[in-house]
Amino acid sequence: MIIRFCINGRDTELDVRGDERAVDILRERLGLTGTKEGCGTGECGACAILVDGRARLSCLTLAAQLDGRDLTTIEGLGSPEAPHPLQQSFAERGAVQCGFCTPGMVVAAADLLARDPHPGREAIREALSGNLCRCTGYSRILDAVHKVDER
Amino acid sequence: MSAYLPGTLTDLWDLLEEADTAVMAGGTDLLVRRRAGKCAGRICCLERIPELRGVQEEEGVLEIGATTTLTDLLESATVAARLPMLHQAVRQLGSPLVRNQATLGGNMCTASPAGDTLPALYALGAQAVLLSRRTERVLDVAEFIAGPGRTALEPGEILARVRIPLPEPNAVQHFEKVGRRRALAISVASLAAVLRLDGDVVRDIRLAFGSVAPTVLRCAEAEAWLTDRTLTADNLRHAAGLVRSAVLPIDDVRATADYRRQVAGNLLLRLETYRP
């Protein structure tokens, strides 16, 4: 089936199969490999993307469900030249080690900041509770989100 | 395999005529099962049918569309104010990412013994509104859920709405879940309780336990024993014994049956904190 959506500000049209998932078309068809697939069952959060402004699990979303939606992936939040404040803060505060969980963490944090621009640490812990990191131990990730607008 | 996103109920009924069509709400259970090789065939998504989503209050009853997401429920002022036990249960279900897509109707249709919204729905006396092309029927949640992973849904029929009679404002509503960790934990045991107190005397009490039997368990023995008795630690300890005799837990990777039996009784002791 043909689906049309806006991804990272660009109108896109794709012919997708019914069994393709959102994460499949992002990575395999559109070359947006910033979005990661970890567990494939919704428990790790590495595949999070923004759909109409809310964070969703792209491994548990069918490609067909994207029809008519507005998507933002980690590539659309910022670029190496003009990073999103969260991306800048993660880099500056050493909140990245292997980097696999980072796109999902940043996307989930962006969803939080859109609704609560100055969250406390408990709200951040709650918002990131569906994102697993196996390297950093989370403290620096919490710091990076908490101090995002400090320089 | 094909996926369909009908925008109206009429289109939905046509799609459901064909065999091997799975109905999908948020997809957080269905797509996991599908990935494990279960439930092949066509998928029909309910997310674009406006009548199936939203929260509405009418004459003391809250009607919640089956595809209302758990995040929608958390953000509903009525749910927070009038159904704090459901609010608490939803806050502890999955993770924010899961809740952004998982739905109340989906949690009911999955019919897991550990489904975290179910004890609250049993304790609140919720009803399921089932629709097909030609029929509408209303079942108590305890009739709707037929067993682990089984519901009363017939082919061509969907869960459209959930009706929850709002408890009186001064009723005590309590929910507690025991899990291995806070986020993304499948319940080891849980308790949802609604009670009406007259001073410290229990006048009316409903107790619904999750994860300690094939379906949510209402403990009639403990309810009857506590009615017209004071909410003291001694009385609760006695009722906890009745709970431990009534539950039918299993051993699994999360906990042993003995542990679940013990904890199910212990969960009741917390009600003492509501003693005036």
Last residue of a domain, one of B165, B198, B220: B165
pLDDT digits (tens, 9 = 90+) for B35-83: 888 888 899 999 999 999 999 999 999 999 999 999 999 999 999 999 9
Kindly list the distances between the CA atom of residue B23 and the CA atoms of A30, B28, B30, B141, in Å, as whole numbers in the listed order. 28, 13, 9, 19
Per-residue pLDDT band for A151 (boundaries 50, 70, 90) equals low
CA atoms within 13 A on the CB side of A47: 23
Mutate to test the interface with B, among A20, A61, A62 (most CBs of B within 10 A): A62
Q: What is residue B182's predicted lDDT score, i.e. its pLDDT?
A: 79
- Answer whether residue B26 is part of any domain: no
Does residue B151 sit in the same domain as residue B210? Answer: no
| Average pLDDT of every residue of chain A | 96
Could you tell me which chain A residue has the CA closest to the CA of B101? A56
Cβ separation A18–B101 shorter than 8 A: no
- Whether the pLDDT of residue B85 is over 80: the answer is yes
- Whether the pLDDT of residue B164 is over 70: the answer is yes
Residue A72 CB partners (closer than 8 Å, separation 6+): A7, A8, A49, A50, A53, A107, A110
Question: Domain holding B101: CATH number?
Answer: 3.30.465.10
Distance in angstroms (rounded) separating the CA atoms of residues B45 and B48: 8
B153 in Cβ contact with B160 (< 8 Å): no
Q: CA of A44 to nearest chain B CA: how many angstroms apart?
A: 9
Beta-carbon neighbour count of residue B208 at 10 Å?
A: 26
Does residue B136 sit in the same domain as residue B195? Answer: no
Distance in angstroms (rounded) separating the CA atoms of residues B222 and B66: 32
Cβ separation B47–A19 shorter than 8 A: no
- Whether the pLDDT of residue A137 is over 60: the answer is yes
A79 in Cβ contact with A135 (< 8 Å): no
Cβ separation B96–A108 shorter than 8 A: yes
Distance in angstroms (rounded) separating the CA atoms of residues B204 and B130: 29
Question: Domain holding B235: CATH number?
Answer: 3.30.390.50
Does residue B116 sit in the same domain as residue B57? Answer: yes
Kindly list the distances between the CA atom of residue B206 and the CA atoms of B34, B192, B223, in Å, as whole numbers in the listed order. 36, 8, 6
Q: What is residue A32's predicted lDDT score, i.e. its pLDDT?
A: 98
On chain B, the residues whose CB falls within 8 A of the CB of A54 are 71, 100
Looking at the partner chain, which of A40, A48, A64 has a beta carbon nearest the beta carbon of B97? A48
Residues 13-32 of B with CB under 8 A from A: 27-28, 31-32
* Tokens found for residue A140: 């620096």
**Interface check B5 vs A, CB under 8 A:** yes
Last residue of a domain, one of B113, B145, B165: B165
- Whether the pLDDT of residue A30 is over 60: the answer is yes
Cβ separation B98–A131 shorter than 8 A: no
Cβ separation B98–A130 shorter than 8 A: yes
Q: Could you tell me the residue range of the domain that residue B184 belongs to?
A: 174-274
pLDDT digits (tens, 9 = 90+) for B115-126: 999 999 999 999
Q: CA of B43 to nearest chain A CA: how many angstroms apart?
A: 8
Distance in angstroms (rounded) separating the CA atoms of residues B91 and B95: 8
Q: Which helix (H) or strand (E) holds B139?
A: strand B136-140
- Answer whether residue B201 is part of any domain: yes
- Answer whether residue B13 is part of any domain: no
On chain B, the residues whose CB falls within 8 A of the CB of A48 are 97
Domains and CATH numbers, chain A: 2-77 (3.10.20.30), 85-146 (1.10.150.120)
Strand bridging mode B42-45 / B21-24: parallel
Q: What is the ipTM of this complex?
A: 0.96
Does residue B201 sit in the same domain as residue B134? Answer: no
Instruction: Please identify which residue in the block is written with the tokens 């005799």.
Output: B245
**Interface check A43 vs B, CB under 8 A:** yes
Task: Please compute the mean of the pLDDT values over residues B240-258 and round it to a whole number.
Answer: 93
* Tokens found for residue B62: 């809250």
- Answer whether residue B181 is part of any domain: yes
Phi, psi of A65 (to 5 degrees): -70, -15
Q: Which helix (H) or strand (E) holds A113?
A: helix A102-115
Per-residue pLDDT band for B196 (boundaries 50, 70, 90) equals very high
Beta-carbon neighbour count of residue B202 at 10 Å?
A: 24
| Average pLDDT of every residue of chain B | 95
Kindly list the distances between the CA atom of residue A23 and the CA atoms of A64, B15, B105, B199, in Å, as whole numbers in the listed order. 12, 26, 25, 56
Q: What is residue B1's predicted lDDT score, i.e. its pLDDT?
A: 74
Cβ separation B98–A57 shorter than 8 A: yes
Q: What is residue A125's predicted lDDT score, i.e. its pLDDT?
A: 96
- Answer whether residue B246 is part of any domain: yes
Domain count, chain B: 2
Mutate to test the interface with B, among A57, A58, A71, A116 (most CBs of B within 10 A): A57
B93 in Cβ contact with B107 (< 8 Å): yes
Looking at the partner chain, which of B43, B71, B97 has a beta carbon nearest the beta carbon of A62? B43
Q: What is residue B52's predicted lDDT score, i.e. its pLDDT?
A: 98
Distance in angstroms (rounded) separating the CA atoms of residues B252 and B129: 33
Could you tell me which chain A residue has the CA closest to the CA of B47? A65
Residue A12 CB partners (closer than 8 Å, separation 6+): A4, A5, A6, A30
pLDDT digits (tens, 9 = 90+) for B123-151: 999 999 999 999 999 999 999 999 999 99
- Answer whether residue B101 is part of any domain: yes
Task: Please compute the mean of the pLDDT values over residues B13-29 and round it to a whole number.
Answer: 95
Does residue B129 sit in the same domain as residue B219? Answer: no
Q: What is residue A13's predicted lDDT score, i.e. its pLDDT?
A: 98
On chain B, the residues whose CB falls within 8 A of the CB of A45 are 95, 97
- Whether the pLDDT of residue A100 is over 80: the answer is yes
Does residue B209 sit in the same domain as residue B118? Answer: no
Last residue of a domain, one of B140, B165, B190: B165
Considering chain B, what percentage of its residues have pLDDT values greater than 70?
100
